[in-house]
Structure 1
Amino acid sequence: MATVSLSAGVRSALTSLSQTNSASQQGQYRLATGKKVNSAVDNPVNFFTAAGLNDRAGQLTGLLDGISNGVQTITAASQGIDSATKLVESLQSTVKQAQADAAANRPNKVGTADVLANAAEVTDTGGKSRKDIALDKRIGEAAVAARATASDTGHLIDTTTNTNLALTVSAGATSYTVDLSATATVRDLVNEINKSGVATASVDDSGRLNVTGSGSDTLRVGVGASTSAALARVNASSGTNQNVAIGLAVADGDIAGAGIVSAGGNSTVRSNLIKQFNDLRTQINELAKDTSFNGKNLLNGDKLSIVFNEKTGANQSKLDVQGSVLNSANLGVLEATSATAVTGTFNIQSDTDLASVSDALTSALGSLRSTASSLGSSLSIVQARQDFTKNLVNTLTQGADNLVLADTNEEGAKLLALQTRQQLSQTALTLSSQADQAVLRLF
């Protein structure tokens, strides 16, 4: 094949046109991909640095899903705590309703044996009221029990031998004992019972002694007499004396005395509140079971681990949120009954039990608030790390882009310049060819 020789002008024009075409193709590729570094050949340092930044950004983006699930899991538990708090507050309201209905549940002793003055005494005292006759009577005297007359206020028991008197008022674990003077009257007895704080006493217009307990526990009131103050107090506390009505005369002896035993009845209102209380209590347990998210329930004792970075081992950053078991038993909320309390229950008819439950509910609220505070603290940490991770991903991505992305404005301007240069190179090639043709025209 014959070799074709090109003139210097044509060869120079072709070379320039080839370079312009190559640069134009590169500019078009950069505009098409949006990157100025598309492979390690373009710029190995920038290419691999950007790849590393994008890889870390991708790993952190993957962790954001776990962090988001962690936020929702803690939020679900927090909402469960808020709802449980409302249920406990409803339980408190139920207890207050039960405590408000107290009158029907108070031990009250009123009976014919407690009449301390009769119609005959009214006549004998010249028309003095039964109430005043009863209040003025002495508890004891060195003689057989005597009725009131115009000249004598009368007395209830014979204290010829047993000159010491004592009073005991008790209900549940509370007891009040006091010595009575030898000349103490029923009025003094009533005043001492009222001082006890355990019961209140009065004498009505029929001359009947009324004693009402301050609480719902069985009320015991005893009056004892003996040869010494110590024995009188023992007798006042004895079951024998507390089962003898005060209105009756008793034999002279170490167990001389009189008393009252009275138990309160069941309140219908309180009985009706049992189901309401127990239903609310059950709902606390059901609520805690339903606060799971994505298989994790922090109110059922589950542990939540939230990973914040892409590293492993000791360099890994994470937060462990240990849940706790939330139920009525752990909160100290007992089941309500209308009978003597057994383990795990309380008697709603008992003022003492109601007071204990009220205290337990207050403690339960404190425990719930403490748990809510702990969850809130964990949630704040996770949300802060979530925001930080999002910002870090943006920073890494932007840093990688700065290394490899093309400036479209610059590349567009270069391409336009190259196109102009290409046209000029083509014109130069044409001119060089025309100069060669002019030589041929000489022949």
Structure 2
Amino acid sequence: MAISLSNSMRGALYTLQQNQQAVQQSQLRLATGKRVGSALDNPNSYFRAASLSSRASNLQSLLDDMNQASQVLQTTSKGMDSLKSLIQGAQGLVGKASQAGQNNTLTGTLTTPLKADAKVVADVGMATGKLLQLSVAGGTAVTVATLGANTTVQDVIDGINGNTTLNPNGSGTSIRAALVGGNLQITSSSGKTVSFKSDDTDANLQKLLGAKTVEGSAVAVAGTAFVDTTRKSLSSQFDEILKQIDQTIQDASYNGINLLQGGDLKVTFNESGTSSITVKSVNYTANGELGIANSTNSFISNDDVDVASANLKRAIDKISSQAAIFAANQTVIQNRTSFTNSMIQTLNTGADALTMADQNEESANLLALNTQQQLAQTALSLASQANAAITRLF
């Protein structure tokens, strides 16, 4: 059955329905913060905003990559700082080796102590008439003793210390011999290679000096180089630092990228990939690209120390130069990071301007609509009461 409404009731009901729709719309805008939530609301604004938001999202992905690239370069920078610190430590060791001077000692290894008055022939066991000779740096052999029946160990020592060819500046000033702990000990203040020779047999010479077992322990017929224990210790520490340099290089990696070990870094700045930068890596090792060789001859000579010092300086200069290149790349990436971040904010602001609702405006609208709704409900109620009154007249 059809229900007939008066014009006044129909008008009040229509107003109430329209008002309710407007209330729901305002409530939705307040809840979502958007005045354009779909293409049905405003196709032009919706799709333009979607395009801007899409580009902002793409740039955000690129921005994340840029930030990660900055972390790679920061890791590399810290790694290079560590390398510099290690090299400076090595320079300190080389400086100490240089300051230590050269005072290289070689000691015999006899288990039965020699005595100064022991006769080299009768007591020690070498042959009569044989020569004991020293040569410096491969030079001409200098005779320090011709063994006779009465030649003592002290005579051999005096023959070395007093020899003016070996010690032109005075007794024992360059090559000095002494009996220390029951063994013949020979010291070179120049750090040059010294050979102790004899025309006697190896076996007989070893009765005077002991068998050569380790570097710097004793002398064989062919002679041996002296080793400065202080410089040898410093050279061992030097070589250990070189190992630490290589390990630091290996550890200077971030997210699988190591700019110090041949891992190039490419950073893309725009969505099309037409703007980018490739950070070229280096391939460092202490003995390789950095050119720091391990200590030579235990730093026995000043020449070895000077070579190490020069190598370290070149390595520091190389690292500093490369650090400047990486820093320039970092500056480019940081600038593009800042620009991209600004672009993302601009795009999001533009998208919001097309779709976002004014919260203050929508709140005021909702308040007004609620008031209108109450008025419409009152009008509908009054119209209904008027119709009822007319009905009672019949």
Superposition TM-score tier, normalisation by shorter sequence: 0.5 to 0.7
Does the Cα contact within 8 Å between 2:102 and 2:300 map onto a contact in 1?
Answer: no
Any residues of structure 2 matched to 1:283-362 within 5 Å, and which? 283-312=244-273, 315=274, 317-329=275-287, 330-338=289-297, 348-362=299-313
| Offset, 1:26 | 1.4
Q: Distance in 2 between matches of 1:289 and 1:209?
A: 50
Q: Distance in 1 between matches of 2:38 and 2:357?
A: 13
| Offset, 1:40 | 0.9
Q: Give the match's secondary structure for 1:306.
A: strand
In structure 1, the partner of 2:375 is: 424
Does the Cα contact within 8 Å between 2:193 and 2:226 map onto a contact in 1?
Answer: no
Q: Give the match's secondary structure for 1:336.
A: coil
Q: Distance in 2 between matches of 1:337 and 1:211?
A: 23
Q: Distance in 1 between matches of 2:231 and 2:85?
A: 21
- What are the superposed Cα offsets for residues 122-141 of structure 1, whole Å, 9 maximum, x if unpaired? xxxxxxxxxxxxxxxxxxxx
Q: Distance in 2 between matches of 1:431 and 1:87?
A: 94
| Offset, 1:435 | 3.2
| Offset, 1:218 | 7.1
In structure 1, the partner of 2:321 is: 370
TM-score normalised to structure 2 length = 0.67
Q: Distance in 2 between matches of 1:273 and 1:12?
A: 104
In structure 2, the partner of 1:269 is: 230
- What are the superposed Cα offsets for residues 384-410 of structure 1, whole Å, 9 maximum, x if unpaired? 322332332222222212221111221
| Offset, 1:423 | 1.8
Q: Distance in 1 between matches of 2:172 and 2:239?
A: 40
- What are the superposed Cα offsets for residues 309-346 of structure 1, whole Å, 9 maximum, x if unpaired? 2223xx2x2221111011112211111242xxxxxxxx
Q: Distance in 1 between matches of 2:323 and 2:103?
A: 40
Does the Cα contact within 8 Å between 2:12 and 2:379 map onto a contact in 1?
Answer: yes
Q: Distance in 2 between matches of 1:19 and 1:294?
A: 59
Counterpart AA for 1:327: T
Counterpart AA for 1:334: A
Larger strand proportion of the pair: 1
Q: Distance in 2 between matches of 1:30 and 1:210?
A: 100
Q: Distance in 2 between matches of 1:29 and 1:421?
A: 18
TM-score normalised to structure 1 length = 0.60
Change (3 A) 1:13 1:337: same
| Offset, 1:365 | 0.7
Q: Give the match's secondary structure for 1:358.
A: helix
RCO higher in structure (CA 8 A, sep ≥6): 2
Pick the structure with greater CA Rg.
1
Q: Give the match's secondary structure for 1:333.
A: coil
Does the Cα contact within 8 Å between 1:101 and 1:267 map onto a contact in 2?
Answer: no
What are the ranges of 5 or more consecutive residues in structure 2 without an aligned counterpart? Answer: 106-136, 139-166, 176-187, 195-223
| Offset, 1:98 | 1.7
Q: Distance in 1 between matches of 2:192 and 2:286?
A: 26
Q: Distance in 2 between matches of 1:276 and 1:392?
A: 53
In structure 1, the partner of 2:18 is: 19
- What are the superposed Cα offsets for residues 119-167 of structure 1, whole Å, 9 maximum, x if unpaired? xxxxxxxxxxxxxxxxxxxxxxxxxxxxxxxxxxxxxxxxxxxxxxxxx
Q: Distance in 2 between matches of 1:47 and 1:435?
A: 47
Q: Distance in 2 between matches of 1:209 and 1:8?
A: 135
Regions of 4+ moved over 6 Å: 208-215
* Count of equivalent residues: 295
In structure 1, the partner of 2:75 is: 76
Q: Distance in 1 between matches of 2:313 and 2:190?
A: 21
Does the Cα contact within 8 Å between 1:37 and 1:46 map onto a contact in 2?
Answer: yes
In structure 2, the partner of 1:184 is: none
Change (3 A) 1:319 1:406: same
Counterpart AA for 1:18: Q
| Offset, 1:298 | 0.8
In structure 1, the partner of 2:6 is: 7
Change (3 A) 1:327 1:6: same
Change (3 A) 1:211 1:275: closer
Change (3 A) 1:432 1:271: closer
Identity of matched residues, %:
40
What are the ranges of 5 or more consecutive residues in structure 1 without an aligned counterpart? Answer: 107-170, 173-200, 220-262, 339-346
Q: Distance in 2 between matches of 1:32 and 1:401?
A: 15
In structure 1, the partner of 2:358 is: 407
Does the Cα contact within 8 Å between 1:307 and 1:318 map onto a contact in 2?
Answer: yes
Q: Please tell me whether residue 391 in structure 1 is matched to residue 342 in structure 2.
A: yes
| Offset, 1:280 | 0.9
| Offset, 1:210 | 7.3
Change (3 A) 1:210 1:350: closer
RMSD of the TM alignment (CA)?
Answer: 3.0
Counterpart AA for 1:356: V
Does the Cα contact within 8 Å between 1:278 and 1:335 map onto a contact in 2?
Answer: yes
Change (3 A) 1:367 1:14: same
Any residues of structure 2 matched to 1:247-258 within 5 Å, and which? none
Q: Distance in 2 between matches of 1:439 and 1:101?
A: 125
Q: Distance in 2 between matches of 1:437 and 1:298?
A: 90
Change (3 A) 1:216 1:421: same
